[in-house]
Structure 1
Amino acid sequence: MARQWIRKCSLIVGDSGGNGLELSEFRIRFEVCKYPMQTPGFARIRIYNLSDDTANRIQKEFTKIVLKAGYEDESDFGVIFTGNVKQWRKGRENPVDTYLDVMAADGDQAYNYAVVNKTLAAGHTHKDTLQAISEAFKKYGVTLGHVADLGQTVFPRSRPMFGMARDYLRVLARSTGTFWTIQDEKIQIVKTNEALPGKAFVLNSDTGLIGMPEQTMGGIIARCLLNPNIRINGQVKIDQKSVQQALRGPTIEDGAKAPQLPGIAADGMYKVMYETFIGDTRGPPWYCDLVLQSMNPADNPIPAPLTNGLTNEP
């Protein structure tokens, strides 16, 4: 088990040509939000006390950011956000401290502008469809990451494709029982009731769990120390005895009309559905806020928004 102490943070701002600046020596505050649905994740980052020349140069020249965070132990340090700059903002927090804010989004240019214009020949498969979609996304810097099994269906007729790549990806996901998302400029396609491959991260007080996870209408919520190894669609394991059961209000009806809560997993296995990284290199915050869903489909009575981003039509 790694020791989660001595924080480490790296913020690189750069351009499309590979030029950039490392700003980790400055005070940095950040909030990174990641989702399992098609909506691009985003980051809000505040950099303190840059010189005017440096701040002006950053605003004029740089359009991409890479944020890494964790601890001195390299196994607990890694990328938590990569994306395109949407807005810079200069300001003053008090008479002494100035700041430069950046709002960035993950893969939003591909999401908003990638267009498929191709005809697939008779005998094509779902993999061929994905390849055509991937080629459109790649023009905007988004490549394929993990792709679940899409099946062996062979289509007897040719298929003309012209339109937004994201729309074709939604149709593909619906047809194959998967859902997709963009994470750190890579497309993830995961089966609805499965997670990314790999061993589940055991989350307890020894590995950074803070307080007691709680059952809510939106899922099982938990807070832990910031850890880049916990990823969207990845698995975590929490002792089911540690999860606090939801308390229904006195006005909630019993029986069939009562709203169904996401279940507490008997085996403690959960999939990460939403994730927020919160950090301050000169302050107390250094957390992951998680929304989790049981890996057992029977525990999940509500298919959206927790289990199926495909219901979010354009």
Structure 2
Amino acid sequence: MKQWKRKCRLTVQVQKGQEDALDLSEMRITFRISQATVDNPKFAEIYIYNLSPDTMNRLSGENGFGETGQTVILEAGYDGELDIVFKGQVFQYRRGRDNPTDTWLCILAQSGNNAVNYAVVNKSLPAGMTQQQIRDDLKEEFKKCGVDAGYMCDVSDQGLPRGKTFSGMLRDYVKQFTQTNNTDLVIEDDQAVMIPRGGGNGEPAFVMTPETGLIGMPQLTTEGLKVTCLLNPRLKWGGQVQVDMSRIQTQSFDIGYSGQYVDQPYKDIKSAQGINGFYNIVSVNHSGDTRGDDWYTELVCVGVGSKATPLTGAAIKAVQ
């Protein structure tokens, strides 16, 4: 992929449920996109600068308290190669200014908003229903909320020993299912993606080198292997990268008595490295500025076959 002539396209639905949308690609846009393993949906914070008052009011209402739930699609990449880095729904508009002349409209959005916050499941599962059938049932529940099924790994054919009734939030139903089957599931760009815990999505590993966009030296920390590269929409949660082991930097051990032997396995290349430099992506953060320098992807990765998994950080709670 040629990583120059950066491009960005932002479309925002004007009214929920309607086809009318605004293309804001010509404006100055800055963004931060975060995707963690658990507990947080894929999240976007997008700033659009110096919109006309009419356009700003059309999107956010005259007082900034207009309707929310509109679909936002942000695509980024390079000349001739745009890919979606975020697709989701608005849950807040903010207005402000950086100085007397530059105003902005901030869009806060998350992927799969209806499925995460509002979807309810009331159903009975008969005895003998297999985990694969329950997985397919989950796909239908997601579809009702406007979330398509992306990659969803196979699970056990073991049947339920007795019938089961479920009544509650879809997110709780999903949590029970993933715990039972030792899997992780996220909603990414309005698609449900499920992978085996500690596994990947089956796509070939992306070889991370300076020629493919690697910036600086990957660092091994208690949060996992941190890798920074030029913005690459192809790098997704559940994917895999291959890193030259000679480029990896390790972090110093905690010399305090309470920290010794606690953090060392996570910062030790022997226990935290991936097999032949292969690492699973457990957290992805994209940041960009169409009129500035930012145009990066930051990854947190865990070694394939590693004995150590992250203790804290973006891979766990989307907090860095």
Same fold judged by TM-score > 0.5? yes
The answer (yes or no) to whether the contact 2:33–2:287 under 8 Å persists in 1 is yes
Q: How many Å apart are 1:193 and its aligned residue? A: 2.2
Unpaired stretches in structure 2, ≥5 consecutive residues: 62-66
Q: Aligned letter for 2:10?
A: L
Tell me the equivalent position of 2:245: 240
Q: How many Å apart are 1:131 and its aligned residue? A: 3.3
Tell me the equivalent position of 1:150: 155
- For the pair 1:281 / 2:290, whether they are aligned, the reply is yes
Alignment of 1:59-208 (within 5 A): 59-60=60-61, 63-74=70-81, 77-208=82-213
The answer (yes or no) to whether the contact 2:223–2:310 under 8 Å persists in 1 is no
Tell me the equivalent position of 1:16: 17
* Whole-angstrom CA distance in 2 between matches of 1:59 and 1:22: 15
SS of residue in 1 equivalent to 2:142: helix
- Deviation per residue, 1:146-201 (Å, 9 max, x gap): 11111111224322221111111111111112111111111111001210111111
* Whole-angstrom CA distance in 1 between matches of 2:262 and 2:190: 42
Q: How many Å apart are 1:257 and its aligned residue? A: 5.4
Query: Would the alpha carbon gap of residues 120 and 12 (structure 1) be closer, same or farther in structure 2, given more than 3 Å must change?
Result: same
- Deviation per residue, 1:107-138 (Å, 9 max, x gap): 13211111111112232111332333333332
* Whole-angstrom CA distance in 2 between matches of 1:104 and 1:254: 38
- Deviation per residue, 1:8-58 (Å, 9 max, x gap): 000000132222011100000000011122421211110011100011001
Query: Would the alpha carbon gap of residues 307 and 121 (structure 1) be closer, same or farther in structure 2, given more than 3 Å must change?
Result: farther
Which of 289, 295, 307 aligns to 1:300? It is 307
The answer (yes or no) to whether the contact 2:288–2:295 under 8 Å persists in 1 is yes
Q: How many Å apart are 1:4 and its aligned residue? A: 0.3
The answer (yes or no) to whether the contact 2:44–2:108 under 8 Å persists in 1 is yes
Say which is worse superposed, 252-261 or 237-246, in terms of deviation: 252-261
Tell me the equivalent position of 2:223: 218
The answer (yes or no) to whether the contact 2:280–2:303 under 8 Å persists in 1 is yes
TM-score by length of 1: 0.90
Q: How many Å apart are 1:307 and its aligned residue? A: 12
Say which is worse superposed, 111-120 or 237-246, in terms of deviation: 111-120
* Whole-angstrom CA distance in 2 between matches of 1:185 and 1:6: 28
The answer (yes or no) to whether the contact 1:115–1:136 under 8 Å persists in 2 is no
Unpaired stretches in structure 1, ≥5 consecutive residues: none
Tell me the equivalent position of 1:6: 5
Q: How many residues align?
A: 305
How well do the aligned residues superpose, as a CA RMSD in angstroms? 2.3
* Whole-angstrom CA distance in 2 between matches of 1:257 and 1:146: 35
* Whole-angstrom CA distance in 2 between matches of 1:266 and 1:242: 15
Query: Would the alpha carbon gap of residues 182 and 304 (structure 1) be closer, same or farther in structure 2, given more than 3 Å must change?
Result: farther
Give percent identity, aligned residues only.
Answer: 36
Query: Would the alpha carbon gap of residues 227 and 252 (structure 1) be closer, same or farther in structure 2, given more than 3 Å must change?
Result: farther
SS of residue in 2 equivalent to 1:267: helix
Say which is worse superposed, 242-251 or 287-296, in terms of deviation: 242-251
Q: Aligned letter for 2:255?
A: P
The answer (yes or no) to whether the contact 1:88–1:102 under 8 Å persists in 2 is yes
Q: Aligned letter for 2:284?
A: E
Query: Would the alpha carbon gap of residues 163 and 308 (structure 1) be closer, same or farther in structure 2, given more than 3 Å must change?
Result: farther
Tell me the equivalent position of 1:45: 46
* Whole-angstrom CA distance in 2 between matches of 1:49 and 1:3: 31
Q: Aligned letter for 1:272?
A: I
